[in-house]
Structure 1
C-alpha cells in the first residue's frame, strides 16, 4: 500500500485510501462487497481524475495478480475477486458503473513490490465490456495532464495530437519539397531557402517586408527583396559580430542569385519564390508557435528533404535527433536554468532548442530568461549551411543565437574551448561512421572524449552514439575508452529503440558521464535496456508515441535517478572495466526466481519430450545407469 501510494504521489494523483471523499462514490462503496453480500467494499485506492474514476486493488505477490479461465477471461467468482488484484479491481469498476453516474472507469490491478511487479489497467464504460490495456510501469499516464491523451490513444485508438501535428508538418514538407524541386535547388539549398524566407517573414510585423511586394520585378527581383529582409532581420536580431552576419548572409545568396526561382512564370505571372513564401506564411509561419515548443521544425524539414532526395545525410554523418531524445537528455542530467550548455556538433540546433525550452520553463524572471538566451547556450557547427540553419532556428525561437560558432570542433584544443566557453553540461550527437584507420580522431567515442575534455570539472555530459562505439570494436576505440576512464566518470549507458533514427539503420545508445573526475574503481554504473520506449513506426509518419511513451520514460527516469528499483532485465548496476562492452546486454543476468507455475510447465514439457522419445525407441537417452568400468 505504501509503495502504491508513493507511485500515485510521484504521478501527482490524489486518490483516497479504502474509501472516497466523493459522496457518490462513498455511497456506492457501502454495497460493493467482493463477496456480493451487499455490504461495504474497500478498494485500496479510489478517486476521480477529470471525468474518469480510478480504482486500484493491489496484492503483495505477483502470483496474486490475475485469475483467468482457459480462454484468458478474468473470473468473477468470489474467491477470485478476493484473492487477485485485477479481478478485484474489475469488480469495483463494474459496481461503480452500475451504482453511480460515472460511466468511465479505469480499474488497475497492482501486484508485487517495487522491484518486481505488474500494473495492469482495464477500461470499462456503461457497456460493461472490460478492455484490458497494456501493462504500465507508473501511474503518470493517468494524471490530469495525460489521462485524456491516454484515453484517446489507448481506448479509442485515435491518433495523438502530437502525431497529427507531426503528420501535418511532414505533409507540408512533402508539398514544399515538390515545389522546391521545380526550382532545381540542391539538397543543401532547399533548407536554406526555407529558413531564409522564414526570417524575411519576421520583417512583416516591422513593415519592412510584404509577400504582396513579390511581383517578379525585373529591376529588383523577389530574391533581392527577400535577401534584404533577411539582412534587416539578422541586424534586428543582433547577430554579431558583423563577420558572422556576413557569413550567414553568404549562405542565403542563393535566394537572390538563383535565376530559376526568381523568373516570373508566363502563365501565373508569379515567381517560384512568391509561391514558396505564400506557402510558408500560411502553413508554417502563422501556425507554429516557435517559442513554446521543443520541436526542431527546421530539422524536421531538413530530414524530410533528405529522405525525398534519396539521401539521409549519412554521407556527411548527419543523423538528426528526434525531439523525445533531445528532451530526455535534459531530464537525464537534471538540467537547471543556471547551467551552461555546449553542443559541439549542433546541426540544426535540436539539443540547444530543447535545452533552452527546458531552462526557460524553470524561471519567470525576465532577466534570468534573457541570460539563458544570451549566455548559456553554446553551439559549434562545422558545415556552413547547417550553421546557418541552426542560427535561423535560434532566432525564430527568440534569440540564443549569439553563442553559435562555425568552426571544426575537433581542430580546436579542448583547453581553449573550456576557457572560451566554460560549460557545465555537454550534449552531443556526433557525426556517425566517419572514423577509420585514416581518421581515428573521428570515431564517435573520440568525439565523446574531446567533448569531455572541453567541459568544466564536474560537468555532466550526455551523448547519443551507435552501440558499436561503446563496445570498442577497434583497438583505437578501446584505447579511447581506457583514456576516458582515466580522466572522466562513466555514469551509465542506455540502450535505445533500434528505430530511434527511423530509416537510418543505426542502433543507438545514450552514454552519460561526469567530466573531469577519474572513474572510481568501485563505481557502480547503470546499464539500462530501454528498447521498449513506447515509440513505434507509423506508416507515412515515422516514429510516433503508441500511448505508453510517457509512462516508459517516467520509469526510466525513476530508475536512473534512484527513485525506484528495477529487475536486471531492465537495469543492471555494476562496476566496469575499459575492456567491457558498455551495454546492458553485456552485463545482464536473469535474476528472476521461477514461479511454481513456471516449474510445473517446464517439468511437463520435459516429461512430454521424454515420453515421446521412449515411444519412438530412443529411451536410451534417459538411461542414467553408470558403467562401473
Structure 2
C-alpha cells in the first residue's frame, strides 16, 4: 500500500480559511519531509453541520476534491482505491466490469434478434437455458451439429434438465414450471437449423458466446445480478422500459444497501415477495454467507432465502440465477404475493423483508389493492415479530396517493414502526423517471406517538451517472 499522510485544519465557520491552512501545512510537509503524497482536510462547521473538504497535495501541485461526509474513504482499507479513483481518475473495477457486461448484452441482443427472431421476454429465457446446460459437465458444445432428428434444442434442453436434477432443484413442481418456460429452446425450429451466415445453428452460436463471455463472470459469484441486467437491457434495446408491467429492476448498490441498513446477519431468514430476477436474494445470500462457516452456508442457501414472483419468465430467471450461484434449493415460488395467507407466511418466521414492488399498478377502484402501500402492509404483516423490513418505492407512496392509501398508512402505523425514510438519487432507476425512496420498518411493533422517525436526504450518494449504464 502507498504511504499517505493526513493533515486536518479545523475552523468552525470559514471554509476558505480551513482549506488554505490545510494546504499551507501540506505543502510544507511535502517540501521538508519524506512524505510526498498528502491528503489535507479543510473542516468547517460543527458536529451536526459541517463541511469536510479533502485536498490532495504532492510535488506536482494540489487538487481540491469533492466534499465528503466523513473520513471512511481514508481508512487503511479504502485509501488506495480512493486515491486511484478520485486523484488519478481511474474507472472503478466494478464500473469496467459492468460496462463490459452491458456491451456484451448489446451484442447478445443483436444476435438473439437477428439469428433467433426472439421476442423481448424470450431472450433472457434462452440465455438462462443455455447457461444451465453449460453447467452440465457432460454437455459438449461440439455436439451441436444441426441434426434434424436430435436437434440442438433437444440437446440443450436435455442437458439443462439433467443439471437441474443433479443440483436437486425442489420441489418437482418448481422444476416443471421452469422447464415449461424453457420449452421454446427445443420448440422454436429456427434455433436448431444451420444459419448460412453463421455456418452453424443460432443455438450453437449463442452457446459459444455465453461460454466465452458470460458464464465465468456469473459463476464467480459476483453480487451483480447479471441476468437481471440482461433482462433490463434487452427491454431497453427494444425501445421499452419495463414500466408497462411495473417492472423496475433494482440496481446492485441498492440491494447491497438494503443488507447494510438492517445489519443483515447469517441467522436471518430473508423474504422477497416480488423477487423479479432475484437481485435482493443474491445480495442477501452474499452478505449472510460472508459471515458464516461452511455448515451454516449450506443452511443459508437451503433454508433461509425465500422469494415469490408472479411472472413465470422472471421466476425462471430468478431460479436460474440462484442455481448458477450454487443454490438450486432456494425457496422460490411462482405465486401472487397479495393472495398469500398471512398466517401461513408467518409460520416461516421470516426476520427480514426486502421488496421493490410493482409500480403504478393502481389505476382505479378495481385495482386500488395493487398500490405499493398495500404491498408494504402485506409484507410487514407477513414477517415475524420484530422483523426488519426495507422497501424501495416512489416517493409518492410514502406521502399517500389516495384516501385509500392514506388509510392503509394509518393501519400500518397502528401495528408496525416506521424507522426512517431515505430520499434517493433521482437517477437510481436510470432512464425510468421515478423519484424513489427507501423506507425502513420494524414489524409488529406499533409506532409510538413519541417515536422519532429519521428522514435522510441521500440524493448526493456519490454515484455518478454513466451514459447507457446509470448509477
2:355 aligns with 428
- 1:58 is matched with 9
CA contact (8 A) 2:5 2:35 kept: no
Question: CA 1:52–1:132 in structure 2 vs 1: closer, same or farther (change >3 Å)?
Answer: farther
Whether contact under 8 Å (1:428, 1:464) holds in the other structure is: yes
- Structure 1 counterpart of 2:81, from 149, 152, 159: 149
Query: Structure 1: 5+ residue runs without aligned partners?
Result: 1-49, 68-84, 544-629
Aligned residue number for residue 491 of structure 1: 419
- May I ask how many residue pairs the two structures share in their alignment? 469
Match of 2:213 among 258, 276, 283: 283
Counterpart for residue 570 of structure 1: none
Matched, 1:531 2:459: yes
- The alpha carbon displacement at 1:289 in A equals 4.3
- 2:90 corresponds to 1:158: yes
Q: Find the residue that maps to 1:108 and give its secondary structure.
A: strand
Residue matched to 1:355: 284
Task: Tell me what 2:41 maps to.
Answer: 108
State the distance in 1 between where 2:219 and 2:470 align.
22
Whether the 8 Å CA contact 1:55–1:92 is kept in 2: the answer is no
| Contact preservation (8 Å) 2:256, 2:283 | yes
Calculate the aligned-residue CA RMSD, in Å: 1.4
- Most deviating of 258-267 and 439-448: 258-267
After superposition, residues 605-620 of structure 1 pair within 5 angstroms as: none
Q: Which of the pair has more CA radius of gyration?
A: 1
CA drift of 1:259 comes to 1.0
User: Retained in 1: the 8 A contact 2:168–2:329?
Assistant: no
What is residue 386 of structure 1 aligned with on the other side? 314
The correspondence for 1:99, drawn from 17, 21, 32, is 32
- CA deviation after TM superposition for structure 1 residue 261, in Å: 1.3
SS in 1 for 2:421: strand
Q: Given the alignment of the two structures, is residue 252 of structure 1 paired with residue 182 of structure 2, yes or no?
A: yes
Contact 1:346/1:352 (<8 A) preserved: yes
Instruction: Give the Cα separation in 1 of the matches to 2:240 and 2:73.
Output: 37
Shift of 1:487: 1.1
**Do the aligned residues in 1 keep the contact of 2:164 with 2:328 (CA within 8 Å)?**
no
Question: TM-score normalised to the size of structure 2?
Answer: 0.97
Cα distance in structure 1, aligned partners of 2:374 and 2:217: 41
Whole-Å separation in 1 of the counterparts to 2:458 and 2:30: 37
1:278-314 deviation line (CA, Å, top 9, x unaligned): 11011111344432x3111111111100101111211
Give the distance between the partners of 2:328 and 2:196, measured in 1 at CA. 43
Q: Which segment drifts farther, 473-482 or 281-290? A: 281-290
Name which of structure 1's ranges 385-394 and 397-406 shifts more when overlaid on structure 2: 397-406
Cα shift at 1:521: 1.0
Q: What's the counterpart of residue 19 of structure 1?
A: none
Tell me, yes or no, if the aligned pair for 2:9 and 2:40 is still in contact at 8 Å: no
Deviations 1:429-475 (A, max 9, x none): 00001013211110000100000111111101110001111111211
Q: Structure 1 residues 103, 56: CA separation in 2 closer, same or farther (over 3 Å shift)? A: closer
Aligned to 2:4, the other structure's residue is in SS state strand
Q: Residue 306 of structure 1 aligns with which residue? A: 235
Cα separation, 1, equivalents of 2:162 and 2:103: 31
Q: Distance in 2 between matches of 1:267 and 1:496?
A: 47
Q: CA deviation at 1:534?
A: 1.1
Supply the distance in 2 between the matched residues of 1:495 and 1:400 (Cα, whole angstroms). 36
Alpha-carbon distance between aligned partners in 2 of 1:234 and 1:98, rounded to the nearest angstrom:
65
Kept in 2: contact 1:51–1:102 (CA 8 A): no
- Counterparts of 2:417 and 2:171, CA distance in 1: 37
| Structure-2 separation of matches of 1:288 and 1:347 | 17
Q: Is the 8 A contact 1:121 1:132 kept in 2?
A: yes
CA distance in 1, matches of 2:80, 2:219: 22
Distance across 2 between alignment mates of 1:236 and 1:131: 57
Q: CA deviation at 1:224?
A: 0.7
Contact conserved, 1:372 with 1:400, CA < 8 A, in 2?
no
Q: In 1, Cα distance between the equivalents of 2:99 and 2:223? A: 17
Mean CA deviation greater in 479-488 or 112-121:
112-121
Q: Verify: 1:344 aligned to 2:273, yes or no.
A: yes
Aligned equivalents of 2:197 and 2:359: distance in 1?
46
Partner in structure 2 of residue 31 of structure 1: none
Counterparts of 1:167-186 in structure 2, within 5 Å, are 167-182=99-114, 183-186=116-119
Distance 1:268 1:134, change over 3 A: closer
8 Å CA contact 1:224–1:256 kept in 2: the answer is yes
Q: Is the 8 A contact 1:55 1:89 kept in 2?
A: no
CA distance in 1, matches of 2:155, 2:394: 44
Q: Residue 379 of structure 1 contacts residue 405 of structure 1 at CA under 8 Å; is this kept in 2?
A: yes
Deviation per CA, 1:253-274: give whole Å up to 9, x if none.
1111111111112354300011
Residue pairs, 1:27-66, within 5 angstroms: 50-63=1-14, 65-66=15-16
Helix, strand or coil: the match of 2:97?
helix
Q: CA deviation at 1:107?
A: 1.4
1:79 aligns to what?
none
TM-score by length of 1: 0.73
Secondary structure of the equivalent of 1:165? helix
In structure 2, the partner of 1:560 is: none
Deviations 1:507-535 (A, max 9, x none): 10101111111111111100111111112
Task: Give how far 1:111 is off.
Answer: 2.9
> Whole-Å Cα distance in 1 between the matches of residues 467 and 439 of structure 2?
30
User: What stretches of structure 2 of length at least 5 have no aligned partner?
Assistant: none
Equivalent position SS for 2:153: helix
Deviations 1:99-151 (A, max 9, x none): 34443221122233321222111112211x21111111111212233223222
